């Protein structure tokens, strides 16, 4: 009799699955019997955020400055007002993306500063300006203030994908969306969506579990605005259990290996199941995600 060991410290199978999908089967080639150890963690993953593209903005006294282009690059634009300039005229200077306005020795109004910046083609190419009120209020000196809030989009509309680095989600995970401003066009609040994993940093969303498993993502037609959050639906119930099979087609439940799931939990099963060649984790959850690590020690002639 020759003993074949699969290192118990190294999982033979490690996977993340969600909802009603079973784990892949572990194959125990040539085994007359084996001892199988399965570790299962059922969790509700943490909420994940993603951005629509936006323009950087800053209010300086009576003027609102908005970056001319979308994205985080607009956050580098600064606005400064310098007192003691030439009487009767505002002078605009630009160093990189730093806009500086030398104001009149008497009074520069919001309207006059707006006019001066818009008359400087390089400065006007960086920002759009709107005035609060009638624009006649005298402005005071202000040190350089940076625009803020510009974000690059994490949406790819042509592919209907959402970029979330290292998301750790599984296909079939159910959740809903919230937003700080406006959801991307086509997506709705208070609506269940199901994750489709494209890769470790990219997902799509489907409108049903069946469509998620089939890989059919929802059509996102517009950018939206703000920061959006996908929050997984909390675990409300279900079961996880160990199953075994001789042929890898028909699986039977292993005795005393079924557990009810009502909240985040960890399970470990150590089962002697001679004559079976395959085993897997089967589960049915109303929500949540299952993290599986399977190990085995196998004996064979």
The pLDDT tens digits of the residues spanning 105-160 come to 878 999 999 999 999 999 999 999 999 999 999 999 999 999 999 999 999 999 99
Single pTM value for the model: 0.73
Which one, of 46, 53, 42, lies nearest residue 230 by Cα? Answer: 46
Q: Across residues 260-281, what is the average pLDDT?
A: 72
Residue 45 phi, psi (nearest 5): -60, 155
The answer to whether the beta carbons of residues 195 and 18 sit under 8 Å apart is yes
| Burial category of 272 from C-beta neighbours within 10 Å (exposed 0-12, middle 13-18, buried 19 and up) | exposed
> What does the pLDDT look like over 92-108, one tens digit per residue?
999 999 999 999 887 89
d(C-alpha 191, C-alpha 207), whole Å: 9
d(C-alpha 223, C-alpha 68), whole Å: 17
């Amino acid at each position: 009799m020759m003993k074949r060991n699969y290192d118990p410290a190294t999982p033979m199978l490690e996977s993340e699955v969600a909802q009603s999908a079973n784990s892949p089967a572990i194959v125990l080639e040539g085994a007359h019997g084996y001892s199988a150890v399965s570790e299962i963690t059922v969790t509700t993953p943490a909420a994940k955020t993603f951005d629509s593209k936006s323009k950087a903005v800053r209010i300086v006294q009576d003027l609102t400055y908005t970056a001319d282009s979308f994205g985080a690059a607009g956050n580098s634009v600064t606005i400064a007002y310098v007192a003691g300039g030439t009487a009767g005229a505002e002078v605009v200077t630009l160093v990189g993306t730093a806009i500086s306005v030398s104001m009149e020795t008497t009074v520069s109004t919001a309207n006059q500063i707006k006019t001066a910046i818009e008359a400087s083609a390089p400065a006007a190419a960086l920002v759009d300006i709107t005035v609060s009120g009638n624009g006649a209020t005298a402005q005071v000196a202000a040190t350089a203030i940076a625009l803020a809030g510009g974000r690059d989009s994490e949406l790819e509309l042509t592919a209907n994908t959402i970029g979330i680095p290292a998301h750790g989600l599984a296909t079939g995970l159910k959740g809903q969306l919230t937003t700080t401003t406006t959801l991307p066009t086509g997506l709705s609040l208070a609506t269940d969506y199901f994750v489709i994993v494209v890769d470790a940093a990219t997902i799509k969303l489907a409108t049903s579990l069946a469509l998620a498993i089939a890989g059919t993502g929802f059509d996102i037609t517009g950018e939206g605005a703000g920061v959006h959050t996908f929050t997984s639906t909390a675990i409300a119930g279900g079961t996880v259990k160990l199953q075994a099979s001789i042929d890898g087609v028909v699986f039977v439940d292993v005795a005393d290996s079924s557990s009810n799931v009502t909240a985040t939990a960890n399970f470990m099963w150590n089962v002697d199941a001679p004559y079976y060649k395959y085993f897997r984790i089967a589960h049915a959850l109303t929500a949540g995600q299952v993290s599986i690590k399977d190990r085995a020690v196998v004996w064979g002639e």
